[in-house]
Amino acid sequence: MRPAAELDLPVRLERANGTPLHRQVAEALRAAVLDGSLPAGTRLPATRTLAARLGVARATVLTAYEQLSGEGYLEAGHGSGTYVNRHLPAVLAVDSRRPAAAPATGRSGQVLDLRPGRPDTRRLVDVAWRRAWREAAEVVPPADPPLQGLPALRAEIAAHLRAARGVPADPDDVVVTAGTGEGLALAVHALGLGGRPVAVEDPGYPAARRVLTRLGAALDPVPVDEHGVRVDVLAARPFAAALVTPSHQYPLGGVLPVDRRLALLAAARASAAVVLEDDYDSEFRFGLAPLPALAALDPAAVVHIGTFSKVLAPWLRAGYLLVPAALRAAFLDVREDLGTVVSGVQQQALAGYLASGALRRHIARSRRDHAHRRAHLTRLLAEQPTLRSRDSRAGLHAVIALPEGTAVPALLRDLAEEGVLLADLADYAVGAAPAEPAVVLGYGAATTAELDRAVAALAVRCRR
Ligand SMILES: Cc1ncc(COP(=O)(O)O)c(C=O)c1O
């Protein structure tokens, strides 16, 4: 492959045509990736070099690179440098400006898994990440990690919660977990929820329901509307705990209004119940002011459940609980019996990574990336009269309503035959199926070309 400096990049700028220069640079580079003149893995010139060659400010090239990275066309390489994403699917080797015909796939094509729950991990491994893990690997104490988690990591998590969520978190309240499921299991044991009613959202997160059911809790499904869980219904029944996703209802996307938040907390207090607040992806909001977390409104009544699965990677298996002081001993008793679950090396690495400010930077970068993908998806769906996005201004997935009468399982089987995997909204329901047929599409790790492919495939099957 030719060295970056020699690449003859096909960028021709027209200063008089009114399109911002960074957009012109991005469009030219995107077109070059799509038509194959910049093949996967090609190293791009340094921003300074390209800026000098084009006679534009370095910030112009930087913005174009950022945008294309957000869309998934470019990626940071090992060490330094920007490359054409090595994992681009073969389907990209067509001109995307052609109107989307039938999806270009088939059994031999690459599988495009857009079921929700997958963040983009391609830009995670950078200098800060490597340094944190290298330094963590050099410390090997002769004992188990502390039951509650490494003090340095708990301090960083508390600081993150204070800054990002406005939760008055104290490091002493933090318990490091191996993710949401493990945190929830700890809560069921510590709060003695076996055999007792636990309110869950319907539709809601099936994996969390499975944990509760397996450990003997009696699930009580509560309906959800466009604002989140129906607190009026929930509060009218007895409950020992309520598992909710107030900052971004999973999967429908509602943001629980403050009056419902307060009513939920009042109901919990009245029945001496605990609210389990699953705050799985609240870092990703787009033009939506954050509402106070339940744990910020009433720290004594809420166990706040956080995870690094969305902001970093599910591969880590790491998360945390914020436990009210009065309940801490019960949680630590369970932890003592079941043993520590998160490796000390991992905790050390995470503590170093957070302390360096890298998590904050990674979240900001990911938020920009997701905003590009979300905007692209919104545009694609707006062009399809038979597909309707239920607008959610947060998170990493979209719920797409399909024409009335669509048989979603058969549709998803057809799509899977073509290598496009989506989820059926009905699979999130406990009781009645959703009123309208819909699919759930995760765009956290998708390139814009992959979104083109998925929406085209979906639209072809939903023609009127
Ligand atoms: C509602 C909800 N909570 C939590 C999680 C994360 O779970 P974990 O921390 O076990 O990876 C997810 C992942 O998809 C989710 O959808």
**361 alpha carbon to ligand 1 midpoint, in Å?**
22
Residue among 250, 282, 350 to mutate when testing ligand 1 (max atoms within 8 A of CB): 250
Atom of ligand 1 minimally distant from the CA of 182: 10
- The pocket around ligand 1, CB under 6 angstroms, is made up of 117, 179-181, 205, 245, 250, 278, 280, 307, 309, 314, 319
**309 alpha carbon to ligand 1 midpoint, in Å?**
7
Contacts 24+ apart (CB under 8 A), 10-16: 10/37, 11/50, 11/54, 13/54, 13/56
DSSP 95-147: -TTSPP-S-S--TTSPPEE--S-----TTT-SHHHHHHHHHHHT---SSPPPT
Residue among 118, 309, 311, 346 to mutate when testing ligand 1 (max atoms within 8 A of CB): 309
Atom of ligand 1 minimally distant from the CA of 204: 1
Residue among 157, 205, 315 to mutate when testing ligand 1 (max atoms within 8 A of CB): 205
**25 alpha carbon to ligand 1 midpoint, in Å?**
38
**235 alpha carbon to ligand 1 midpoint, in Å?**
25
* Per-position pLDDT tens, the chain of length 464: 455 545 677 788 888 877 888 888 888 888 787 777 788 888 898 898 888 888 899 999 988 888 777 666 788 776 678 888 776 655 444 333 333 333 444 444 679 999 998 898 988 999 999 999 999 999 999 899 999 999 999 999 999 999 888 898 999 999 999 999 999 999 999 999 999 999 999 999 999 999 999 999 999 999 999 999 999 999 999 999 999 999 999 999 999 999 999 999 999 999 999 999 999 888 887 766 678 899 999 999 999 999 999 999 999 999 999 999 999 999 999 999 999 999 999 999 999 999 999 999 999 999 888 889 999 999 999 999 999 987 667 789 999 999 999 999 999 999 999 999 999 999 999 987 777 899 999 999 999 999 999 999 999 998 75
- Among protein residues, the one whose CA lies closest to atom 4 of ligand 1: 280
Token duo for residue 404? 């009335």
Q: Could you tell me if residue 125 is left (phi over 0), alpha (psi between -120 and 50 degrees) or otherwise beta?
A: beta
- Among protein residues, the one whose CA lies closest to atom 3 of ligand 1: 280
- Among protein residues, the one whose CA lies closest to atom 7 of ligand 1: 180
H or E element, residue 417: helix 408-417
Atom of ligand 1 minimally distant from the CA of 308: 9
Atom of ligand 1 minimally distant from the CA of 309: 11
Q: Can you list the positions of beta strands (E) in 323-464?
A: 388-390, 397-401, 420-421, 423-424, 438-442
**213 alpha carbon to ligand 1 midpoint, in Å?**
17
**183 alpha carbon to ligand 1 midpoint, in Å?**
11
Residue among 212, 248, 307, 316 to mutate when testing ligand 1 (max atoms within 8 A of CB): 307
> What secondary structure letter does DSSP report for 258?
H
Residue among 281, 305, 342 to mutate when testing ligand 1 (max atoms within 8 A of CB): 281
> What secondary structure letter does DSSP report for 245?
-
- Among protein residues, the one whose CA lies closest to atom 2 of ligand 1: 280
- Among protein residues, the one whose CA lies closest to atom 5 of ligand 1: 280
CA distance 387 to 381: 6
- Among protein residues, the one whose CA lies closest to atom 14 of ligand 1: 117
CA distance 72 to 448: 7
**62 alpha carbon to ligand 1 midpoint, in Å?**
33
**280 alpha carbon to ligand 1 midpoint, in Å?**
6
H or E element, residue 218: strand 218-225
CB 449 within 8 A of CB 92: yes
Question: Looking at the whole model, is its pTM more than 0.85?
Answer: no
